[in-house]
Every structure is written in structure tokens, then in C-alpha cells.
Amino acid sequence: MSRNGLLCLALIAPSWGCSGGSEAPPSDPPRDPLESELSLEAVDASTGEGIADAQMTVRYLVRSPITLDESAVDEVSSGQPYRIAHAISEDSLVVEVRLEAPSYMRLDTVVAVARGGSEGPFRFAMAPREGRVASRPAPAQPQPSRAQPEASAATIDRSGLTAGDQAFSAGDWRGASDGYARMPLPPAGADDYAREYFLTRVRLGIARINLGEWDGARAALQDAVNRDPTEYSGYFYLGQVQCTLGQFSTGRQTLSQVERHYQSISEAQRPVVLALVEYQRAVCSHSEFQAARSPADQARTRQQALADFEDFVSRAESLNPIPQPVQAAMADARRRM
């Protein structure tokens, strides 16, 4: 059990790992700014193709480095990737993005790129608004045949996936992060690779957690839940990261998504996973209590944390037998209480 309560789902994914908390390395000396670029595009969540609206609004705010304080609102063509670039001296450029289009639900996400790097285009699935269907001008060129996406899937460069998996299994978090980060985006029709890509976004998040790269972990895990909003594992880790970054309410809401998508958890694992979700929710509430400053906030958050820990312990004690990760969580919960 790490000091901040981050817990890996060892029972669920035994080949995945998560280190105990370690001290952060000393800060690097000032460095020259390097151009860091990322790009993104919107797709229709129901089809996987480009959204029906010809135009969309992109709003973004640079969150890291916080001294940059850059923001923009642009009306752009939805058929072209949107590019964001800034010269930074810090390790990562982290950007909060909001995508808006008349026929779709608003989408909020976080994207990140390493200093001097270029990533993307990130593909974000936007959910159509009920009862609204937009039409798009016919493309100037004929649509490719259905056989073409399948052919492209056979030629996908999997070197990043292979390198990332090997490094992940060995606990080489830097190698895993670098390998997964260079994987190409899934082409249309490559369903098997798209599933692999989703899983590596979760693993990329875990690797960055172990590296202490919290903003990068959040970006990878947010990408994972955007790509497959019905799979629970991305929510489990994303909620922990958000709580670690001080987004307590958002983190608890994200953890609750695991319970909403419980059907993606096998029946044998479901009681354990849901117990660990309650533990992480209680840890998040405890972190909020520790961060509280006013007496009123301290009293409110203390009561919430105690109630959450009591709920977890009650659920954990109902398991028979109680798996080792849950036993460790119970010991930590009682210590915090």
C-alpha cells in the first residue's frame, strides 16, 4: 500500500504493476524552451467516423506549465485535426480541452505531450444529441472501399506496443511509457487493434503513475475512458489520479463510474473490485479532509471520510474469503480512521 492510497488491481490484471509511493526526484535545472505540439480531432461516437457538423468550437486552457496561463477559443473545420503548440521548459504541456458542436454533447478532456514532443491526432468520440442529426457535404473524393481499412490494419506498426508490453512486464515504467506513447492511432476497421490501443492507454496511465507524472497519467486515462466509456478499468485509475491532483469531487464521481459499468467486470471479480472502489473513494475523502483549512470544511470532510471508510470496511468484511489486497486496504482504512 503506497502512502497516497493508490492501489493496483493485481487480482484483475496480474501482469500489470504499481509501485509503492517513492520520493520525487530533485527538480532539474532550468532548461531552454522547446516547441511541444499536440493535435486532436472529433469523431462520432456512434459511427467512429468524423462528426456530422462541418464546424466545431474548440476551447482550451493550458494547465501545465501553470505560469503559461494560455487559452483560446476557435471555430474550426471538424474535418481537419486541430493543432495546439507551445514552447515550454517544463516536462509536459498539459491542456484542458472542450469540444462543442451543434449536433453533439459537449466533450471535456485533458491532453498532454512531453517537452519537445509531438503527439496526435488524439481522436475523441462525441455523443450525438438525441433527436438531432446533422448532414455533412458530400466528400470531393469517393469513399474508400471497406477492404482498405482491413488492409491498413494488417500493416500497423506494433513495435511500440511490443516494446511497451515488455517494459511494463519488467516494471520498466519509463520504457513502457515511451513505447506506448509512440503507438499509432487505430485506423478505421481495425477493431482488434483499437481494443489493444484502449488497454495500452490504461497501462500508459499506470506507468506514468509509477513515474510520478500525474498530469500525463490523467491525460492517458482520460483518453482511455473517452475511447471506451463502458470499460471500468480506466475509471478506476483515473479517479485515483484526479484525487491525487486535488480534484476530490471529480475523482469520486469518476470512481462511481466503475459501479455504473459493473457489467464489464466478471462476476467472480466484481465484489472485490467494488470493495476497492469504495476504499479509493474513502481515501479520496480522507485526502480532502487533510487539505481542508477552515474549521467548517474540516468538520464536513472528516464526517464524509469516516462514513466512506465505514462503508468500505462493512463491504470488505462481507467478502469470504477476503483477498489480500482488500485485507491491506482494510488495515490502511482502520489506521486512517
Q: Per the structure block, which three cell numbers stand in for 115?
A: 517537452
Closest among 182, 138, 191 to 160, alpha carbons compared: 182
Dihedral over Cα of 73, 74, 80, 83: its sign: negative
What's the pLDDT score for residue 30? 66
pLDDT < 50 stretches in the chain: 1-3, 10-16, 20-28, 133-151
Residue the block writes with cell 495500452: 200
Q: Which residue has the cell 466545431?
A: 56
Predicted local confidence at residue 116, as pLDDT: 85
Give the list of residues 6+ apart from residue 45 with CB closer than 8 angstroms, or none.
Answer: 125, 126, 127, 128
Alpha-carbon gap, residue 282 to 302, rounded angstroms: 11
At 93 the pLDDT is: 81
Phi, psi of 315 (to 5 degrees): -65, -40
Using CB atoms within 10 Å of the CB of residue 10, give its burial: 0 to 12 exposed, 13 to 18 middle, 19+ buried.
middle
pTM, 2 dp: 0.61
Q: How far apart are CA 79 and CA 231, in angstroms?
A: 28
Question: Which cell numbers hold the place of 234?
Answer: 480506466
pLDDT at position 132, please? Answer: 56
Sort strands 118-126 and 82-88 into parallel, antiparallel or unpaired. unpaired
pLDDT at 112: 76
d(CA 117, CA 336): 41
What CA–CA distance (Å, rounded) separates 270 from 255? 14
Check if the beta carbon of residue 72 is closer than 8 Å to that of residue 195. Answer: no
Model pLDDT, residue 324: 87
CA–CA distance, 63 with 219 (Å, rounded to integer): 12
- Res 143: pLDDT: 45
Angle between helices 248-260 and 270-291 (to 10 degrees): 170
User: Rounded to an integer, what distance in angstroms lies between the CA atom of residue 323 and that of residue 84?
Assistant: 46
Per the CB < 8 A criterion, the answer to whether 54 and 78 are in contact is yes
By the 8 A CB rule, do 82 and 76 touch? yes
Residue 188 pLDDT: 76
pLDDT of the residue at 333: 92
